[in-house]
Amino acid sequence: MRYALLLNSREPSEGEIPEDAVRAMQEAFGVYGRALESAGVLVAAEVLAQTPATTTVTLRTGELQVQDGPFADTKEALAGIFVIEVPDLDAALAWAERCPGAQYGVVEVRPAATSFVDGAWTVADSCGAGTQPKK
């Protein structure tokens, strides 16, 4: 089953975090990423640029609206995402616990309702989790 580990944290200002602390966290995330790869559970991983680089797009009103910045202005921002494939929620929670981002932010663990795999969407089961390829 696929889960997204959504990393949320307060965005530090430029120079707020000492360079040695930045390097230490980069190394910790490198170790974490390699552990996910070694276990064969990593589907994708992305560190996101800070919110000033965000552009939001919607067609809710029937016409294109493009806005600088994130959809919601919050104290914490989505900083990164890991997509993993593990047997169950307990396994996803175990990986979330190991995530270095949990030391300074929060890791939201959310199951994928459906996934695009090999050119097709998976069929969602009664819990909303993707289970098999839809042909």
- Report whether 130 contacts 112 (CB < 8 A): yes
Each residue of 68-111: pLDDT tens digit?
988 877 788 899 999 999 999 999 999 999 999 999 999 999 99
User: For position 133, what pLDDT does the model report?
Assistant: 53
User: For position 129, what pLDDT does the model report?
Assistant: 58
User: For position 135, what pLDDT does the model report?
Assistant: 45
Which uninterrupted H or E stretch holds 31? helix 19-38
- The domain that holds 59 is classified in CATH as 3.30.70.1060
Which uninterrupted H or E stretch holds 27? helix 19-38
Strand spans (E) along the chain: 2-9, 42-47, 55-58, 65-68, 77-85, 106-111, 116-117, 120-124, 130-133
| Overall number of domains in the chain | 1
User: For position 134, what pLDDT does the model report?
Assistant: 46
Domain carrying residue 31:
2-133
Each residue of 8-62: pLDDT tens digit?
999 988 889 999 999 999 999 999 999 999 999 999 999 999 888 999 999 999 9
